[in-house]
Structure formats: structure tokens, C-alpha cells
């Protein structure tokens, strides 16, 4: 269970949406920024938050950091050039071609999560949630 509190805050100069929950109390207490992202976007956001000093946890139903990309067709290629989709703090290797292939995406995504020691809870889903109006807190069952 995560107990969430404090409905609005400015984190390092970024103002969050009015309904965003930005803290949860657990052991130890961590900053919480609510968001839903997919594939590498969730890792990029986690790395950016970490650079700002905000810890976060990524809860993912997939078994690995690369998500469902590892389960897709072997012939799959990314639909845009790597120059248009570079990842901050850890760019794609120079030896990768302009149009990335599935194994390259999978490898780079794993390396990204490992390099920045991102907090991933893989093979988990949020099974339920409830709001305690008297305390103003959310509880999530993972």
C-alpha cells in the first residue's frame, strides 16, 4: 500500500497539474509524481526526475524494462530516425544505424534502466485503489 498525500506542489521549478498527487509516504518517504507513460518514455521521465532529485517507482505489468517491445515481430523497425528520438543522458550508440531495429531498442532500453538504477517494479499491476476523504490520501494495492 502506498499512502499518497499533498495535492499540489512545485518540484524544482516545474508546476504539476492541479489534481496531481506528488508525495507518498512509505518507508522511506519518497517524492511522488503521478504519470502514465509507455515504453521508453517512462524511463526517460524517471531519469529526468532522478536528475532533479525526485525518486520515483515505475510499476509495469511487463517482465522486463523494455516492455512489450521484446515480444514484437523480429522484423520490426522503429518508425523514425534515431536522431529524432534520442534519449537524454544516454544517447543511442554511434554504431547504430539511422533506423533502429528491435534488438537495438531492447538492448538500449535495458541499458538505460540499468545505467541510471531506475526503480522498476516489473510484473506488477495496480489491482485497486481507494481514497480516504478524511485523511485526503490514496491507497493503492499493487
Condensed to tens digits (0 to 9), the pLDDT of residues 82-136 reads: 888 888 888 999 999 988 887 888 888 889 888 988 888 778 777 777 777 887 7
Counted residue by residue, the chain has a size of 142
Q: Grid coordinates standing for 128?
A: 485497486
Contact 60, 35 (CB under 8 A): no
Residue 63 Ramachandran class (φ > 0 left, ψ -120 to 50 alpha, else beta): alpha
Distance of CA 122 to the CA centre of its chain: 11
What angle (nearest 5°) sits at the alpha carbon of residue 59, between those of residues 55 and 64? 110
Bridge-based pairing state of the strands 128-132 and 30-31:
unpaired
Predicted local distance difference test score (pLDDT) of residue 94 = 92
Condensed to tens digits (0 to 9), the pLDDT of residues 38-51 reads: 667 888 888 888 88
| Residue 72 exposure: Cα atoms within 13 Å on the Cβ side | 14
Q: Grid coordinates standing for 123?
A: 510484473
* CA-based nearest residue to 20, from 30, 6, 31: 6
The percentage of the chain sitting over the pLDDT mark of 90, rounded to a whole number, equals 4
Q: Which domains does the chain have, with CATH numbers?
A: 2-141 (3.50.50.60)
Bridge-based pairing state of the strands 119-122 and 57-60:
parallel
Contact 119, 58 (CB under 8 A): yes
Amino acid at each position: 500500500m502506498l499512502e499518497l498525500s499533498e495535492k499540489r506542489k512545485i518540484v524544482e521549478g516545474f508546476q504539476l497539474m492541479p489534481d496531481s498527487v506528488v508525495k507518498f509516504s512509505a518507508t522511506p518517504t519518497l517524492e511522488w509524481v503521478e504519470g502514465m507513460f509507455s515504453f521508453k518514455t517512462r524511463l526517460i521521465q524517471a531519469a529526468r526526475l532522478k536528475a532533479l532529485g525526485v525518486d520515483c517507482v515505475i510499476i509495469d505489468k511487463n517482465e522486463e524494462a523494455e516492455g512489450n517491445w521484446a515480444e514484437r515481430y523480429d522484423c520490426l523497425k522503429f518508425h523514425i530516425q534515431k536522431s529524432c528520438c534520442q534519449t537524454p543522458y544516454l544517447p543511442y550508440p554511434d554504431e547504430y544505424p539511422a533506423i533502429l531495429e528491435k534488438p537495438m531498442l531492447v538492448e538500449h532500453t535495458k541499458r538505460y534502466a540499468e545505467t541510471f538504477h531506475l526503480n522498476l517494479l516489473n510484473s506488477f499491476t495496480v489491482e485497486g485503489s481507494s481514497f480516504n476523504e478524511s485523511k485526503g490520501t490514496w491507497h493503492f494495492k499493487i
